[in-house]
Amino acid sequence: MNLSLDQTIYPNQQALLPFALTDVLIEHVSQTKQPLLHFWQLEKTMILGMKDTRVPHLKAGVTTLQQAGYPPVVRSAGGLGVISDPAILNISLIIPRDMQTTDSAYEKMFQLTQHAFPELLITTGEVFDSYCPGTYDLSCAGKKIAGIAQRKIKDGIAIMMYLSVSGPQKERGQVVKDFYRASLAEKFGQDGYPPVNPDSMTTVGSVMKNNLTIEQTKTRFLNAFSQLTKEEITQVDSQNWLRATKKRTDYTEKLSRMITRNEILASL
């Protein structure tokens, strides 16, 4: 029987918590070899990759984010910046590493998403002018709906996806574009940072032309996870799981590391 963990929508003051929990979950799967699915959401937030913290004018870029109402947080996984808000669902498929290659792990998340939305034609391939472009960007009709990153710890791996379910995707893209314009200045679109075009992305709801909700999306992924693994899914609350598994000490340690990682923002 596989697990699914869900979390409440965390306010900005607690934006580091789901990242700390993800690392605990990866280590847990490394030990138990039991796949799990982790859903989480944040209030309006710009999630920065470590590369984003090395822009020449970070303070100017952070100022644009704060003015737009998207305070930043630095994540532990690789990649570049993405937006999070209550209409975006973050989904982590956490599995044993076994003989997984980078591509085969990404392929599992793609398969899971296609099973969750069988009525959509979803393609993979980099959307170069989206934010956080990558080889396994997921698109519909040429517009990106999701991006995927990986994080490996010991014998566990998390394939982490942000899925734009609904909401103002063009506004999100403009926020990210403004960040890079301010933080890179004349080097916008250079040195491995994307020339963000807000029109390069869309939402699943827009593609489906309906009012898709986060809860409906979670249900689709849970059903797809059960079908692909041929196992029933036990849904648990993350806080109850931490208590039951006595992982709070590990969680506190991971959270401390996230706080240290984010000191660069506090010092601006």
Distances in Å between the Cα of 179 and the Cα atoms of 68, 148, 236, 262 are 10, 21, 37, 18
Alpha-helical regions (H) of the chain? 17-32, 58-68, 102-116, 169-184, 204-208, 214-229, 238-245, 248-261, 263-266
| DSSP codes joined into one string, 41-70 | EESSEEEE-GGGGGSTTHHHHHHHHHHHT-
**What would the DSSP string read from start to end of 95-140?**
EE-TT--HHHHHHHHHHHHHHH-TTS--EES--TTSSS--TT-EEE
What is the pTM (predicted TM-score) of this model?
A: 0.96
Asked if pLDDT for residue 11 goes beyond 90, the answer is: yes
Cα(195)–Cα(182) distance, rounded to whole angstroms? 13
Asked if 132 is an active-site residue, the reply is yes
Catalytic residue among 58, 73, 74, 132: 132
Dist. CA 262–CA 53, nearest whole Å:
10
Which of these ranges, 9-18, 43-52, 53-62, 97-106, has the smallest mean pLDDT? 97-106
pLDDT digits (tens, 9 = 90+) for 173-232: 999 999 999 999 999 999 999 999 999 999 999 999 999 999 999 999 999 999 999 999
pLDDT-based confidence at residue 38 (cuts at 50, 70, 90): very high
Question: What percent of the chain shows pLDDT beyond 90?
Answer: 91
Residue type, 244: A
Q: Is 160 helix (H, G, I), strand (E, B) or coil?
A: strand
CATH number for 2-266: choose from 3.40.109.40, 3.40.50.300, 3.30.930.10, 3.40.1160.10: 3.30.930.10
pLDDT at site 1? 77
Using one digit for the tens of pLDDT, what is the confidence trace for 91-126?
Answer: 999 999 987 888 999 999 999 999 999 999 999 999
| 251 has a pLDDT exceeding 90 | yes
252: tokens are 């506190």
With a cut of 80, say whether residue 144 has pLDDT above it. yes
**What pLDDT shows up at residue 102?**
84
CB 134 within 8 A of CB 126: yes
Residue spans per domain, the chain: 2-266
Half-sphere exposure of 25 (CA within 13 A, CB side): 31
